[in-house]
Structure 1
Amino acid sequence: MATFNGCLYIQEQLVSILQQLSEKDEVVIVDDHSNDNTVEIVQKLKDKRIRTIENQSNVGPIRSFQRAIENSRGDYIFFADQDDIWLDGKIDKVMKSFKEGADLVVHDSKVTDANLKVISNSWNNYNQNKFRKSYIWTIIKNPFTGADMAITRNILRVIMPFPKKIPMHDWWIGCVCQKMHLKICILRDPLILYRRHGNNVTGKAHQPWQMIKNRLNLVAKVWRR
């Protein structure tokens, strides 16, 4: 998890995650130099499974997620945003797919407002996400959402480190897994409450020139893999 000024929702999200974990699991949090009390709230939970790493300056979500992955120790890595809620059974359903041979698991989520009122029962329908085999389609429109993704440690050799100037880590991971023909499992179950509150890092509109530049950068980086 990468956090930045997440004091409003971080505790609720962590509680929803921790109650599904075993004593052998861990939550790796990289705080991106928050100027609120996010880190203090995390520390007050006093859960030995949480490891908090603080950036000395703000480096953005891509580098923060990379640092979290680099500091993880488990065989399976689940991505999490600071402001969502994990629904009961998420880990069990994703792990079933891993045991069946998946390298990357993507699930759906319920879209909510800031107060967790459901806006849509499917983020993939709401965002018109379409998963196809070719990474070219993914470069055109990214259907991969980090908060809905989990990977095996085995694929770190092909996705890490994240290249500079990619638009977002989830987009990069999805494209590389498709290009390398890794096994991707798409679950239709909504396994989190995906909170949209106006200050989300993801889902923000970009200028047309920036969208074109993002895609050209992504094509160049994926092609070299």
Structure 2
Amino acid sequence: MTDADRVSVCMATYNGEKYIDAQLQSILQELDDSDEVVIVDDASTDGTLAAIAKFNDPRIRVISQTENRGYVRTFETAIRAATNSVLFLSDQDDEWVPGRRVALLEGLQNRRIVAGDLVLLGDDAPLTSPLTRRPWRLATLPEGGSIGNELRILAGNAPYYGCAMAIRRNALALILPFPQFLTESHDLWIATVGNVARTMGHVQHPVVRRRLHEANTSPQRPRGILMVVRSRVMLIRAWAEARRRVRLARR
């Protein structure tokens, strides 16, 4: 394995004691000895940190925040703390599908950002689209991005989840810092950057088994119209900011 294939798993935790053990087991089984898991804990008040400490694995590195900053800023901190050439994002409560590491690295051969599909933990059923109620899978994206794909992101009908994403380090100059107005959906920001820069790739098979429960950060039920409008405005601003950064990088 070359340095270019060494992986840093970036995870944000908050009161995740209930599921963190199963998630970390699924992650560590996938990793090589030279990989790392960077966990930034967002001031948990339960036994999350104790559950992580029980692993006593040298690949795990924990950063404890003394005040709660929210998952967007906590993920940004984890990304900044990563040291390897490839970054995998991970939630605290899902489980990785065996073969995830290989699949995402293959997807990154000619792309700087990739996303895989998700299935539901328990029966491996696909997620359903919140708009069409049909199976929600990534579409083919041969050119690394398109206006059509951006419209799907803005419409909320693109199944981009951070827990199924991988990023080459050379994409971080465009991704970081997260825009100050970004208060949710860091994954859609990353996907927007990849789409605008024409460096987004899709791994069209599952890489994560998603656990559904009442504390999921991503909502499982339709949101109110005001929240939807605010979210769409934020995504339009993200698209404009991504275009600005890509233009500057190309000068």
Q: Same fold (TM over 0.5)?
A: yes
Aligned with 2:209 (options 164, 188, 193):
193
Report the counterpart of residue 136 of structure 2 in structure 1: 128
RMSD value over aligned CA atoms? 1.8
Q: CA deviation at 1:37?
A: 0.5
TM-score relative to the length of structure 1 = 0.90
Q: Cα gap change, 1:26/1:70 in structure 2, threshold over 3 Å: closer, same or farther? A: same
For 1:62-104, what per-residue CA distance to the aligned partner results, in whole angstroms no more than 9, with x for missing partners?
Answer: 0000000000011100011111111211101111122x21211
Report the counterpart of residue 71 of structure 1 in structure 2: 81
How many pairs does the alignment contain? 218
- 1:29 aligned partner, one-letter code: I
Separation in 2, partners of 1:130, 1:72: 27
Separation in 2, partners of 1:82, 1:165: 24
Report the counterpart of residue 39 of structure 1 in structure 2: 49
TM-score relative to the length of structure 2 = 0.81
Q: Contact 1:28/1:51 (CA < 8 Å) preserved in 2?
A: yes
Q: Contact 1:105/1:149 (CA < 8 Å) preserved in 2?
A: yes
Instruction: Give runs of ≥4 in structure 1 deviating > 6 Å.
Output: none
Answering whether residue 123 of structure 2 is matched by residue 137 of structure 1, we say no
What secondary structure does 2:57 align onto?
coil
> Which structure 2 residue ranges, 5 or more long, are not aligned?
1-10, 245-251
Q: CA deviation at 1:128?
A: 3.5
Q: How does 1:1-225 map to 2 (within 5 A)?
A: 1-98=11-108, 100-112=109-121, 117-118=122-123, 120-123=124-127, 128=136, 131=139, 133-134=146-147, 135-141=150-156, 142-166=158-182, 167-182=184-199, 184-204=200-220, 205-224=222-241, 225=244
> Which structure 1 residue ranges, 5 or more long, are not aligned?
none
For 1:173-195, what per-residue CA distance to the aligned partner results, in whole angstroms no more than 9, with x for missing partners?
Answer: 1112111222x221221122111
What secondary structure does 2:207 align onto?
strand
